[in-house]
Amino acid sequence: MNEFSNFRQKLEEEKTRLEGELSKIARPNPQVKGDWEVSSPDMNPMISDSNEMADTFEEMDNMVGIEYQLEERLKEVVLALERMEKGTYGVCEKGGERMDPKRLEANPAARTCIEHSA
C-alpha cells in the first residue's frame, strides 16, 4: 500500500468538492484547461431597474472573488496529485527534504515544508 494513499484520497475528495462548488457559480473555460469563468446572469437592461442591476453586478463581483479562491485551491490540489504521479509528493519544493507528515495532514496540497512556507 502506498504511504500516501490516505492523502491521495483526501486530495481526490477535495478536488471533487471544489469542482462541485465551482460548477455552482462558474463553468470551465473551453479555451484554457483548468480555468473557470463565472457564469453571468441573464439580464435584460431594458426591463431591469437600476437597483436590481447594481445588486446583480455586486453579486457577480463577489462570485468572481469566490471563484478565484476556489480555482486557486483546485490548482493546488491538482498539482499535488500530479506530484504523486511523478513521485515527488511530500518533498519540499524549496529545500528538497521530506515533509513532516503532520504538515501534509494539515494541508495535503502543501508544496513546501513549514520552514520554507513563508
pLDDT in tens, 36-86: 888 766 555 555 677 766 776 677 777 888 999 999 999 999 999 999 999
Predicted pLDDT of residue 48: 60
Whole-number average pLDDT of the chain: 87
Higher pLDDT residue, 54 or 115? Answer: 115
Task: Say which residues have a Cβ less than 8 Å from residue 75's Cβ, sequence separation at least 6.
Answer: 34
HSE of 48, CA atoms in CB hemisphere, 13 A = 13
> What whole-number percentage of the chain has pLDDT above 70?
85
Residue 91: other Cβ atoms inside 10 A = 16
Alpha-helical regions (H) of the chain: 5-25, 50-86, 101-106
